[in-house]
């Protein structure tokens, strides 16, 4: 909880959100569980590890870009716009 808007600060990952509470000058910083993004993070990390076992250097940014390229034809939102904190 933060008292006053000036006391609100982003966490190092710049994730979550801040909610103004009914009490004057009282704010809560909240982190929600977004299961879809957890699954994306798990899949990207699993793919990164599989690449490493095969001797292929793959970073998270490159893997997310590859997923975004493959999903374009489905009309779904880009993974990187849904989960920007992953890279």
Contact (CB, 8 A) for 41 and 15: no
d(Cα 85, Cα 34) in Å, to the nearest integer? 13
Phi, psi of 76 (to 5 degrees): -85, 160
pTM: 0.44
Tell me the pLDDT tens digit for each residue of 13-45: 777 888 888 888 888 888 776 666 667 888 889
Q: For residue 10, what pLDDT is reported?
A: 76
d(Cα 9, Cα 6) in Å, to the nearest integer? 8
Q: Is 6 exposed, middle or buried (0-12, 13-18, 19+ CB in 10 A)?
A: exposed
pLDDT-based confidence at 86, cuts 50/70/90?
Answer: very low
Q: How far is CA 11 from CA 17, 55, 60, in A?
A: 10, 35, 21
């Amino acid at each position: 909880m933060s008292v006053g808007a000036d006391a609100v600060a982003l966490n190092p990952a710049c994730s979550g959100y801040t909610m103004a509470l009914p009490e004057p000058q009282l704010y809560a910083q909240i982190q929600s569980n977004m299961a879809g993004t957890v699954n994306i993070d798990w899949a990207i990390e699993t793919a990164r590890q599989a690449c490493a076992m095969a001797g292929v250097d793959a970073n998270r940014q490159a893997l997310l870009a590859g997923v975004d390229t493959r999903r374009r034809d489905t009309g779904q939102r880009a993974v990187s716009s849904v989960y920007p904190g992953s890279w």
